[in-house]
Amino acid sequence: MPAIKKYLSLVKFSHTIFALPFAMIGFFLAIANTGGSVTENEQMGWGISFSETWKWVLVKLILVLVCMVTARSAAMAFNRYLDRSFDAKNPRTAIREIPQGIISPNSALRFVIFNCLIFTLATYTINPICFFLSPVALFVILFYSYTKRFTALCHLVLGLGLSLAPIGAYLAVTGHFNLLPLLFSFTVLFWVSGFDIIYAMQDIDFDQSNELHSIPSMLGAVNALRVSELLHVLSAITVVFAGVYGEFHLFYWIGIMVFLGMLIYQHSIVTPYDLSKVNIAFMTANGIASVVFGLFVIVDLFFFK
């Protein structure tokens, strides 16, 4: 158990709360659109047969959750492995597991490889398109860890990695692309990129002195916040457009009000001159935004469609 806790802490497992609700939106959107037809979807998979629809849905859901957890765990552990020398020098991150010697670099790397293998196996079990696209997904989420070394657009790469959750879950059920889950993916892309910029404001001086790239270190705190606001406006536009395009009902729009309210709230408590509430903006506001919105969308899908 202590070892499990160490690795859960290494990958900040609680932060799964950001993308997981959007993965569930993609999953249940696909179920609602297809009616969870076993016969139809078995043709897209590897011939695995289940006698009842609910069993098929449950197995698919478990596989999607396995993909979500292992992909994110691989990405976070790889980031900690790759950034271990920078983390050791940064007072804010020096307490992390690898700099503190709680987990060795080699153990962290083995953990990355293990999660990548489980992720790939899970996609193979789901259907061919998810399996064929799994190297692309792994490349995006692992490549992010290198980006801060050469581009200030690293926040967008992180957003892109998490944005794979809605469309990936939708593909797991249907085996094909659709505009609506893609709109939710764009919502995640802009939303995550925006709040990652706010989070990176804590390390402006460190990044500049160590030649690491980020929007805050390149533009300064004031302009970085303006960029974050713009990205969150784009996130708001895409999620509203998704609601109109998908012909959602009351619960969806209540969820949007909460989601947008949390975006506004986090920008109201973080200023270029006061970063004391960055963690509240990062974890609390965004956690509430994703969970509440996800729940309301799923309720809308099954009670109003």
Least confident of 50-54, 269-273, 301-305: 50-54
Residue 280 confidence (pLDDT): 80
Least confident of 5-19, 108-122, 160-174, 177-191: 5-19
pLDDT at residue number 120: 98
| Residue 39 pLDDT > 50 | no
Query: Do 120 and 55 touch, CB atoms closer than 8 A?
Result: no
Asked if pLDDT for residue 63 goes beyond 90, the answer is: yes
pLDDT tier at 35 (50, 70, 90 boundaries)? low
CATH of domain 2-303: 1.10.357.140
DSSP designation for 220? -
Look over the chain and give the mean of its residue pLDDT values, rounded to a whole number.
91
Break the chain down into helix, strand, coil percent, rounded to 5.
80, 0, 20
Q: How many residues does the chain have?
A: 305
Whether residue 186 has pLDDT greater than 80: yes
CA distances from 13 to 17, 19, 74, 191 (A): 8, 12, 11, 19
Model confidence at 36, pLDDT cuts 50, 70, 90, reads low
pLDDT on residue 43: 41
Closest by alpha carbon to 26, among 180, 130, 187, 133?
180
For helices 250-269 and 221-245, the axis angle rounded to 10 degrees is: 180
DSSP H or E run through 192? helix 179-200
Query: One-letter amino acid identity for 174?
Result: T
CA distance 92 to 279: 12
Domains of the chain by residue range: 2-303
> What was the pLDDT predicted at 175?
93
CA dist 262 and 278 (Å) reads 13
Question: Could you tell me what percent of the chain has a pLDDT over 90?
Answer: 78
pLDDT value at position 2? 74
Query: Per-residue pLDDT averaged across 214-221, rounded?
Result: 96
- 3-class DSSP assignment, residue 80: helix
pLDDT 10s digits, 40-59: 444 444 344 444 677 888 99
Return the pLDDT at 38: 46
pLDDT given at position 247: 94
Angle subtended by helix axes 179-200 and 221-245, to nearest 10: 160
Distance CA 143, CA 137 (A): 10
Question: 184 is written with which tokens?
Answer: 């939710």
Nearest-Å Rg of the Cα atoms of the chain is 20
Q: What is the mean pLDDT of residues 220-233?
A: 97
SS3 274: strand
Half-sphere CA count of 178, side-chain side, radius 13 A: 23
Q: What pLDDT shows up at residue 161?
A: 96
* Residue bearing the bigger pLDDT, 278 or 140: 140
Find the mean pLDDT for residues 137-162.
97
Confidence of residue 33 (pLDDT cuts 50, 70, 90): confident
Distance, in Å, from the CA atom of 199 to the CA atom of 209, rounded to the nearest integer, reads: 18
